[in-house]
Chain A
Amino acid sequence: MNYVECFRALARYRTNELVVTSAGNSGQAWWAATRDSEASFYLDASMSLSTMFASGLALARPEQKVWAFMGDGAFCMNPGMLMVERQMNLPNLTHFLVSNRVYGATSNADLPNFQNNDYAAIARSMGLDRILEFRSIEHMDRDFPTLKSANVSGHTFVVLEVEPFSDAEQKLEQPPFDGPELKYRFGRHLESRTGCSIFGYRT
Chain B
Amino acid sequence: MTRTTKDIGKKIANELASCGVKLIASLPDNWLMDVIDTVKRDDRFVHIPVNREESAIGLCSGAYMGAMGSAALMGASGFMTVIYAITKINYTYEIPLLLMATLRGAAGDHHKHHISNGLYLLRVMDAINMPYAIIDKPDEIPLISRSYHHTRTVSRPMAVLFTRDLLREAGHELR
Contacts and interface: CB of A to CB of B under 8 A. Distances in A.
A53 B48 contact: no
Contact of B51 (A84, A180, A182, A198): A84
Interface in B20-67: 23, 46, 48-52, 54-55, 57-67
- Determine the interface band of chain B, counting residues with CB < 8 A from chain A: 20 to 34
A196 B66 contact: yes
A88 interface: yes
A44 B63 CA distance: 17
A1 interface: no
B89 interface: yes
B119 interface: no
A182 B95 CA distance: 11
- Determine the interface band of chain A, counting residues with CB < 8 A from chain B: 35 or more
B52 A78 contact: yes
A56 B88 contact: no
Contacts, number: 119
Nearest to B70: A56
10 contacts: A47-B84, A47-B85, A51-B58, A55-B58, A56-B61, A56-B62, A59-B62, A183-B65, A190-B67, A202-B149
Interface of B: 23, 46, 48-52, 54-55, 57-68, 70, 84-85, 88-89, 92-95, 149, 152, 155
The 8 closest A-B pairs by CB, nearest first: A60-B66, A56-B62, A52-B58, A60-B68, A80-B51, A49-B58, A56-B63, A53-B62
